[in-house]
Amino acid sequence: MERAGVKTVMAVAVMQLVLSVSLLIALARLVVAAALWLLEEEEEELETELLRHESSIEAWRRGLLERRSEVGGFDKKKMLQPHFGQTFKFKRVGVK
């Protein structure tokens, strides 16, 4: 009878061990899934922030180019014109 009691106690202990291990595995999978979900959300936020930042940089560059041409800054299109915006006359200086 004592042996039957030991077997029953061992069976219960094994069942509890199997149950606790399976619960730990399920919990570990849940933690991994939650971490991946959080990282995925962060990645999406970073992508949208990067796109927003890139668009603001492009807008800044366009504005800078427009302001340059308005205030007399270097303008490549003007440079390609034959007179290049010269409004003064110069004399030839040389030996007479």
Provide the pLDDT for residue 12: 92
69 touches 75 (CB < 8 A):
yes
Provide the pLDDT for residue 81: 67
Question: Can you give the pTM of this predicted structure?
Answer: 0.41
Q: Which residues of the chain have pLDDT under 50?
A: none
Query: Rounded CA gap, 69 and 65, in Å?
Result: 6
Tokens 């007179």, located at residue: 83
Provide the pLDDT for residue 18: 96
